Chains A and B, each alone.
Chain A
Amino acid sequence: MTDLFTTITTNDALRAEIQAISQRGRNARLIRSRIVITLCVIALAIAVIPLAALSWEIIVKGLPVIKASFFTQLPLTPNLVNPNMTGGVSNAIVGSLVLVLYSSILSVPVGVLTGIYTAENENRTASLIRLMAQTMAGAPSILMGLFAFALICQQLGFGYSALAGSFALAVLMVPVIVVATEIAVRNVPQTLREAGLALGAKPHKVSMKIVLPTALSGIVTGCILAISRAVGEAAPVLFTIGGATLLNWKPTDPVSALPISIYIDAKSQWPSLRAMVFGIALVLLFVVFIASFTARFLVGRQQRKS
């Protein structure tokens, strides 16, 4: 009991000292907290400013450029007599559509099927695929361009072509689709699968008839995001598609693309061409935001369903 008694007496002295010290600095601590929190909110504002500034500039400067001829005409080079002769970007629009089409044909089946495999199998192959998909998804996109150039343009002799560009974009898209598909298939409730198996259906029938339809919106979302990324990528197609100023569409033809037109025109000496850039960028932003919102909508719908 004496032990306990001494504890309680020191307790009071200590309590007084602790409370005195903590009381003394309390206001300073609260003020410091408020200052730092204000700084954090300012940082948030700074982070949001670029989006506002960028969207504003591109809308304000891009809208005046977009006319009917913007979509229908081929590009022209201004000269001293006609400094505002810019034509349109029909070649780049057609080129981008062609590239999206071919690259989707190349990447979607492979990506989706591979994603299904990794979702349904838990073995060394699946881990290897997963590792490879993550690695490829993190690789700089310019390397896809180097790869397509080495393999399709040179090795296989196709030269600058829609095929080479599509291949580079497909290599970029596949890992995104694999990862998205795997997640979508895994998110299908296990009970659904078990119900199918309990009814005596064969595993692959269960996958085809029950799991895939349920996971479809997730898979589609992944594909939309992959495509929207491919539409905006310049690096993989920079030295693979040839940048044709014609309305080409065959896989072996050189084509152009919207990001490439931006890249070239942005460095131009002609103010009229530099002005065009904002119009093309506006089209790109429009496409990417639509894709992003569609993906969000699909994800939201899927979450509501399950």
Chain B
Amino acid sequence: MTTNTVQVPRSRRFAVGDSKPPTAERSWYTYVLAAAWILFLGVSGLFFWSIVSKSLPVWQKQAGTIITGTGWGGPYGGLPMIIGTLQTSLIALVIAVVVGLGTAISIVFLIPARLRLITATIVELLAAIPSIVYGVWGLLVLSPWMLAHFYPFLDSLGLTFLGSSNIATGPSILLASIVLAVMILPIFVSITREVISAVPQDLIEASLSLGATRWQVISKTVLPTARIGIMGAAFLALARATGETVAVALTIGTISKVQWHFFYPGTTIASWIATAFGEANSNDIQALMALGVILMVISLGVSLISRWFIARQRKILAKV
């Protein structure tokens, strides 16, 4: 997980291949490497092309309805899935950012060094857990718990206008969002941790020596200096949330309907593809491929933004 974020500075890069040995010396080594990367680039290119080309009929016939329509079959409408994807991943992001900021700050600044390694390890172990396990936990543990305790608790507070007393089934937008939040938390925490621990120590000491309290050091110096990188971490977590499939498929209920009531079932692009593929005919499959293209655009767009933020943060930290 963390290996993806480690960047080797350019200055350390060497270039043996650039010395251009005579052709005779290039030998099999060069050709084997070339075969590998050509295969890699070829398959990667094919990846995008395949999904796009399979969905082409949909884009030709009903490019508008696949984005704005709400029915499934006949013209295929992807609006419920798109809205659901945004809803679940944004709710998850809000939870993950609130909890994750506190977590990252605690790990870097507040807890004793002895505990730092173990908590960081625990958070990173959370990232290694397969998403299906989170899904199971959400469906078979968290959902019954919420039915038995959380919704009655809301009712007991007199918040019946939320409709919680009518909840009959466990799966809901809220449940899926909570499961997603738990899943994206480790990503957010590990990048945020890296970014805030890269804030130069003498800036922290400068604030302290101006009479700042510990919280002022964090809120006025550390977080502003690291804010771009934290945005990057948030967008990376968001990208992961938009693409998550089985954990959401198990916990959201998968109903093709624009759902504004978060205690009720809804759907997302990825979970809809996973659920609808089983009984799909060839037309359905084209529409699902089109949904796949939409998901690809959303997800890659978000991760592109995140990479841009993280690269900018590196430049900022290089300057201070």
Complex: A in contact with B (CB within 8 Å): yes
- Which residues of A approach B to under 8 Å, CB–CB? 22, 29-30, 32-34, 36-37, 39-44, 46-48, 50-51, 53-54, 57-58, 109-114, 116-118, 120-123, 125, 128-129, 132-144, 146-147, 149-151, 155, 171, 174, 176, 178-180, 182-183, 186-187, 190, 193, 202-204, 206-208, 221-222, 225, 228-229, 231-235, 238-239, 259, 262-263, 266-267, 274, 277-278, 281, 284-285, 288-289, 291-292, 296
Taken together as a complex, chains A and B put the C-alpha atoms of A48 and B249 apart, in Å, by 24
Could you say which of B33, B132, B213 contacts A33, with CB atoms under 8 Å apart? B213
Q: Which of B50, B189, B213, B274 contacts A147 (CB 8 A)?
A: B50
CB pair A179–B16 under 8 Å, yes or no, is: no
Q: Are B99 and A120 in contact (CB under 8 A)?
A: no
CB <8 Å contact, B246 and A114: no
Query: How far apart are the CA atoms of A120 and B26 in the complex, in Å?
Result: 14
How many positions in chain B have a CB within 8 Å of any CB in the partner chain? Answer: 97
Decide yes or no whether B102 CB sits under 8 A from chain A.
yes
Closest to B291 in A: A146
The majority secondary structure among interface residues of chain A is helix
**A128-B41, A146-B289, A202-B25 as given contacts; A259 in contact with B17, CB under 8 Å:** no
Does B39 sit within 8 A of A, measured CB to CB? yes
Q: How far is the CB of A14 from chain B (nearest CB, A)?
A: 16
> Do B133 and A232 touch (CB < 8 A)?
yes
Contact B37 A47, beta carbon cutoff 8 Å: no
- Cross-interface CB contact of A43 among B13, B101, B133, B140, cutoff 8 Å: B101
CB distance from A19 to the nearest CB of B (A): 11
Pairwise interchain contact B3-A114, C-beta atoms closer than 8 A: no
Closest beta carbon of chain A to B26's beta carbon, Å: 8
**Beta-carbon contact of B99 and A43 below 8 Å:** yes
CB-defined contacts of B189 to chain A, threshold 8 Å = 47
Q: Any chain A CB within 8 A of the CB of B29?
A: yes
B residues at A contact (CB < 8 Å): 1, 3-4, 6, 8, 12-19, 21, 25, 27, 29-30, 32-37, 39-41, 43-44, 46-47, 50-51, 54, 98-103, 105-107, 110-111, 119, 121-126, 128-137, 139-141, 182, 185, 189, 211, 213-216, 219, 236, 239, 242-246, 249-250, 270, 273-274, 277-278, 288-289, 292, 295-296, 299-300, 303, 307
New contact pairs (9) apart from A139-B47, A263-B246, CB-CB < 8 Å? A121-B18, A138-B299, A229-B128, A232-B132, A238-B245, A238-B274, A281-B136, A285-B130, A288-B129
